[in-house]
Amino acid sequence: MKILVTGASGQLGSTLKAMASTKQTEGLNFMFKSSSELDITDFEAVREEMLSSNYAYCINCAAYTNVDKAESEKNLAYQINVSGARTLALNCNESKTVLIHISTDFVFDGFLNTPYVEEDIARPIGFYGDTKYKGERAIINNLDEYFIIRTSWLYSEFGHNFMKTMLRLGNEKKELSVVYDQIGTPTYAHDLAEVLLHIIKAHSIDYGVYHYSNEGVASWYDFAKAIFDINKISIQLSPIRSEEYPTPAERPKFSVMDKDKIKKTFNLDIPYWKDSLEVALKAHAKIDI
């Protein structure tokens, strides 16, 4: 079974690449394309790739993910997150390829105080979230066979992410302030990748929008403290409000997602976020040696 992975040099793409030679991926033939190797906004390039290789699935890991820069680089963010998603959807439709697209909890405004379900109305409060939601709609409007997986606070031993930033700052600083009034769920990219493989190997036709993150909830402060505690990094960590750390983009204050749909549909047991963080930190330590 041939599978195209776009945006293959990012966190999730790199995670899938690391898993590609393991027993978990037996029978699956991956083609990994970085954004420089396949620009998802280039309709003809995507069409040529899709029609020439008879892919059963396309996992779209390509995305503009810099939440703050999206406020000033609106055209670029729109081109990748909206036009790119539409390009993939149209070409998947023509080549009869199932699209697995990664979206975000930032499609929600964060005004609820209970976990968001898939049917809740998306009201993004930043341009990044707005482009991701419009990308979802571009897929839904142009393709029948798709899985849109909304995830949150993704981190791994690869790429740029909060875990690696905290590890760096923990070695550089004696004290640090992190916001405590934004609540969500950290998600280890390896756990998400395993779910994508599970969906593919199940040959599922339960298409639609799903929520996936690790179990539990945390603030960014809690996430940072867990990183420092597990790695035994001594640092004075202070909780602050978002107003004390202004950013170009507003973030949802509460973006915890309900995962009942994906758990019941695919019979999943989802790891608790702190347990997965321990695994990720061990994996990062091996790479860092």
| CA–CA dist 72, 66 (Å, integer) | 10
According to DSSP, the residues that pair with 99 across neighbouring strands are: 58, 146
Catalytic residue, candidates 116, 128, 133, 210: 128
Q: How many CA atoms lie within 13 A of 227 on its CB side?
A: 29
Which residues lie below 8 Å from residue 214, measured CB to CB, with a gap of 6+?
A: 185, 186, 187, 188, 191, 270, 271, 272, 273, 276
Q: How many CA atoms lie within 13 A of 88 on its CB side?
A: 36
| CA–CA dist 273, 163 (Å, integer) | 12
| CA–CA dist 101, 61 (Å, integer) | 7
Q: Taking a C-beta distance cutoff of 8 angstroms, is the pair 225, 163 a contact?
A: no
Which residues lie below 8 Å from residue 273, measured CB to CB, with a gap of 6+?
A: 185, 186, 187, 188, 213, 214, 215, 216, 218
Give yes or no: 221 in active site: no
| CA–CA dist 179, 266 (Å, integer) | 34
Helical packing angle, 273-288 and 162-172, nearest 10°: 60
Burial of 235 (0-12, 13-18, 19+ CB in 10 A): middle
Active-site positions read 128
